[in-house]
Copies of this chain bind each other. A is one copy, B any other.
């Protein structure tokens, strides 16, 4: 990978350029952080001409390393007003990498609100008028694009939510089946894509390089070790069997499963929406567990959730969605949650942000908690862009302001994921201090064997995680591999070096991670953020979580040490 594709939506030009030397050993999130800091004025209007939308595979993108094809999508977030990298699975990262692109940088906005498709092949790239694709849901968009451009293409696209520039809009990436359900969901980057007038990026890697390793012998041995380690991990085994939904019973037991707009962390209906229930239902109905989002994945945390007749409702159904659109809404019905998930996907909405916004709407009395049909109706309102829909589509924080709900689970304007910060305090520290806003993937601590209710040591735990995650996000590796390979960074380096011909050490990899967070914080600082933004909403400090009888009590001083 040695090229950067620059797309100018004002001039309607595409241009491949060589990668600058200082970007050579950066990929994914790390490259995005550096590029945004170098090229975008942090104080710019996120939906205006100065923001840039960047697609960057990780350094391993295009290789055959299992689980290495994640795509990082970045820009200034319309939700947080800060920097954002939003990471998705599927085959987009793989195919961009195979075409030799380290990054696709989309600049400017169209002069007259024209809409386009961006098609990228081995022969170059071009902008094609989006025509009737504009307005379609992501499922139909991807299906029609694959009819038009061949069923081997990968697609990143937005739905009506992104087109309407709603801040809860994500970007959908196609998986191994061509289904656009691998979401770069967070941060509202779908709205940035909508503002740039791009409905979809279509990537055709026919006639591209084969992603062969630089050093095949070393690669073979390193791959063997890597694969063994992943296969032996009990955590990964759980992902394979139950998917991320295994977390439902874990967080519910800790008292950290967000329930009824984060008013408690224990949900009476948890069992009905648990990983076990999910697996049993899927197996009984002949759906699919152990589903891969990327080719050759050794984890297979995904699934295909089907209805009683065996017909697919949504794929995958994951923990964060089950919590935010289940317990958080007082809904203990996997079918209903799956339907909500499908709808959000199709409209192009992040299920976390949308679930949190619906929780706020229920807290504000728009519909009662537990009202399944009401929730579905509200998602339709968002998709249609009614006034109420636009309020909710702007995310939980704006929804709270408009609906008069003060207790909104959000930091820096972005909704929390599915961990109550009073019960799982390390995640609370991450929510507060991550440059990404409240984002569990920026530094999840829930798997650590600690007293999650105690404030002690949580800042350090979060810091350790926050400074580890960017390694994976820069390589394009699925974060779940860290459950195995995290303990063997030297093996990871051998694999990376064998593939790329580099000489990374664990130290230089972690240095890249630290630089990434430093650049992101520098961007945010110039966007106006201070330590006072690195805090949770007031009520988490003052209103106990009834399931644990704890408040969030990690001190400001400790929080301010996270990035020291």
Give me the interface of A with B, judged by CB distance under 8 Å.
Answer: 42-45, 47-48, 50, 164-165, 167, 387-388, 390-391, 394, 398, 401-404, 406, 526-530, 532-533, 535, 537-539
Select one of B165, B167, B391, B529 contacting A391, CB under 8 A. B391
**Interface pairs (14), CB distance under 8 Å:** A44-B538, A45-B406, A48-B539, A50-B538, A165-B404, A167-B401, A387-B402, A394-B401, A394-B402, A398-B401, A398-B402, A528-B529, A528-B532, A528-B533
**Are A538 and B45 touching (Cβ within 8 A)?**
yes
A48 and B406 contacting across the interface, CB-CB below 8 Å = yes
* Number of chain copies forming the complex: 2
**CA distance in complex: A539, B394 (Å):** 22
Contacts A43-B532, A48-B406, A530-B530 known; list 12 others, CB within 8 Å: A42-B532, A44-B538, A387-B391, A390-B402, A390-B404, A391-B391, A391-B402, A394-B401, A398-B401, A526-B532, A527-B532, A528-B529
Contact residues in B for A404 (Cβ distance below 8 Å):
164-165, 390
A502 to chain B, nearest CB (A): 37
Taking a contact as CB atoms under 8 Å apart, the answer to whether B406 and A47 are in contact is yes
Give the chain B neighbours of A527 by CB distance below 8 A.
Answer: 532
Considering the chains assembled together, what is the distance between the CA atoms of A164 and B406 in angstroms? 12
Which residues of B are found within 8 Å of A48, using beta-carbon distances?
406, 538-539
The answer to whether B406 touches A390 (Cβ under 8 A) is no
Q: Give the distance in Å from the alpha carbon of A45 to the alpha carbon of B397 in the complex.
A: 13
Give the chain B neighbours of A164 by CB distance below 8 A.
Answer: 404
A164 to B44, CA, bound (A): 33
Quick one: closest B residue to A406, CB to CB?
A: B47
How distant is the Cα of A533 from the Cα of B394 in the complex, in angstroms?
22
Shortest CB distance A383–B (Å) = 15
A293 to chain B, nearest CB (A): 32
Residues in B with CB closer than 8 Å to A391 are 387, 391, 402
Q: In the complex, what residues of B have CB within 8 A of residue A530's CB?
A: 528, 530
Contact B401 A43 (CB under 8 A): no
In the assembled complex, the CB of A42 is this many whole angstroms from the nearest CB of chain B, namely 8
> CA of A280 to CA of B394 in the docked complex: distance in angstroms?
47
Chain B residues near A538 (CB, 8 Å)?
A: 44-45, 48, 50
Chain B residues in 8 Å Cβ range of A387: 387-388, 391, 402
A344 to chain B, nearest CB (A): 19
Q: Which residues of B contact A167 (CB under 8 A)?
A: 401
- A35 and B546 CA atoms in complex are apart in Å by 35
Q: Which residues of B contact A398 (CB under 8 A)?
A: 398, 401-402
Q: Please name the residue on chain B nearest to A531 by beta carbon.
A: B528
Bound CA span A394–B399, Å: 11
Of all chain B residues, the one with the shortest Cβ separation from A109 is B406
Residues on the B chain within 8 Å of A537, using CB? 45
Query: Taking the nearest CB of chain B, how far is it from the CB of A78, in angstroms?
Result: 8
Q: How far is the CA of A43 from the CA of B398 in the complex (A)?
A: 18
Closest to A399 in B: B402
Inter-chain CA distance A401–B165, complex, in Å, is 9
**Complex contacts, A403 vs chain B, CB 8 Å:** 390
> A388 to B386, alpha carbons, bound, how many Å?
10
The smallest C-beta distance from A411 to any residue of chain B, in angstroms, reads 12
Q: Which 7 A-B pairs have the closest CB atoms?
A: A528-B532, A45-B538, A387-B388, A390-B402, A528-B530, A43-B532, A387-B387
A373 to chain B, nearest CB (A): 19
Cα–Cα distance between A404 and B50 once the two chains are bound (Å)? 17
In the bound assembly, the distance between CA atoms of A526 and B530 in angstroms comes to 9
CB distance from A152 to the nearest CB of B (A): 36
Q: How far is the CB of A45 from chain B (nearest CB, A)?
A: 5
Smallest CB gap from A191: residue in B: B404
Cβ contacts under 8 Å, A45 to chain B: 406, 537-539
A463-B535 Cα distance, complex, nearest whole Å: 33
Query: In the complex, A398 Cα to B413 Cα: how many Å?
Result: 13
Q: Whole-angstrom distance between the alpha carbons of A387 and B388 in the complex? A: 6
Task: For the complex, give the distance between the alpha carbons of A527 and B50 in Å.
Answer: 27
Q: What is the CB-to-nearest-CB distance from A113 to chain B, in angstroms, rounded to a whole number?
A: 12
User: How far is it, in angstroms, between the C-alpha of A529 and the C-alpha of B539 when the chains are bound?
Assistant: 21
Instruction: State how many angstroms separate the Cβ of A530 from the closest Cβ of chain B.
Output: 5
